Chains A and B, each alone.
Chain A
């Protein structure tokens, strides 16, 4: 532990209170929305929030039957899965390529500046991409969001995996080469198995991005291909919000990714903190 000094009871108590407040602020808003989705409409607008209520599935039924959220769910799943697959496969190759080129000047430059792609705002790409997709008649299909999400994810995935490759034991590549393994074989049968933790991190991070992304999907999809965030944006933007429906659709959209995130928490945190402590 970093602090070793004896503490007074006062600091101890205030520490506990502080942590408690943080946890409450962190968790209560989410729990409130989830519980609202099971409440009768009138109970949603009470202060303080009712903890005891007659649970109902009414909101879920409307959201799924007339709200099309079952279709949005399927669309989100398709877009997020394909995006993640593309980001990881292309990302592994890209990172490996950059690692092989680590002694050349351009290789180092590219890997140093790969994160600069983050500086290009989504809206700057969205406007022309939307027009380009329109001219090849691919607007409103899954192609738009998948391409856009992949291009945003890719630099980050490469950066993440490259960081892990650099930590692999030195000489691994050379000794495999001496035994006659080809470059591609070394990648597939030696590097990839060792990189599984990094791939786990890349998986959960790119799933989370694509599942949650709004701006690209908002404009590049059409009625049949709306993803969950688009569906929610359309209902939140309405003049009079139906809070029951809103809470039910928010619950449908956020619970799956929160659950996957919790199951893969180790990889999620590792991915989030990668690079923070390099050197």
Chain B
């Protein structure tokens, strides 16, 4: 091998900086000398036998003191809320000034079922919408496709055409509510459907507020709802970034998601590192589209998981803000403060919910929601207690919303910004999270970037390894899950759950038949032909052609089929 001197990456420079900081011992004052003696004496007195690790495997001391971070500097590492490096929060007054958005992930059955649920939640104090789509929609198949058999409306709402999208938002004022859509591979199509729905209601795209998830990179490693090869999806995302930056100034076109990475089995700092790596890849993509970093970076948003590891979660959120701000400023040369803000949505952990003793899940969700709030989230979904069994009932979803409302209105937690800041433990753990994330970021860059790391299966293997280890810990009883491997009840009493009827599929198929009967099929054909030639020309922006096809009443499946024809489908690396 040629011995080539490599240019130092930004991440390795950051790691070196941390190393230097650690090595430099500050001048000991009399007070610090006293502290050192006190701690040494305490250690002699206290018998310490058991080794304890955080759930991510970080060894933990019994107690943290200033001695654990003699290099800690308030101004450079924390700063004030709403100011660089934003460790303490992205806004000056955080939840005291404005509560987080209560955004419940909802969607099931046919569009009218979901429309009713959305209106119910809004009437009960929800402050933002979030739509869950079913598997056929997520994979870009219509309800009448062979592969959709048995899956329509089961994991979310089915959307096969613009008509379905319009039904979901019937009687909902799109100029006043913000909508998040958990859609990735077909994100451009669903965005166009939302735009068309709004336009028909007289709301122009420039007024629309909301988010499409669009984060395909984490699909390849975690949720695995991809359609095309990575390069094709990234090109479509590039088009979306450019289009939305120009026409939809309030739209978050990508929600860079750690949630699914965590659910797939990653630990807290893996979630942090892989999510940020994906985030920086999207910044690169925007730059590649010819945009300036300060023109689009502020529209990138994040989406994290909040699991049961209370302090790790808080530390993770704080570290995420600091790393993003630091890299946006120094690696990407962002000048505007808004480009440096890591704003995020949080969902309490689905994987932490247990099928056994489901009422325990209310307690889990409460603890996770509290950590998310203390970590400075901008919006929050709280899982319902029955979600290890099925999609939530109206009753359980309402209770989950109430959980947030109780935290917001009764605990006093929102009154003070970053109340855990300054805790020796939390600050130390924040630094740990940061350093471990930098190590992964450096490793990924040295492998040739995130796309390489995804295509070779490196990230997937890292996640699977952690997930298998955790399962083994559970099997051995070293990791306790109440009701699952300890405090087991022999007789579980069943709970009432939401059932999705097969009639939903029949109804959706019938609707498609009528739609195809009534629409101008020549217009549809022409729009799909134009779309095909646009997709084949990599320098073209595909969004206008997709919007045109949507408006001509081409279905989701038909539009995605054009993509499948042009780009082919992705198989993914060997997973086992």
Q: Do A and B come from one complex?
A: no
A contact set with B: CB distance below 8 Å: none
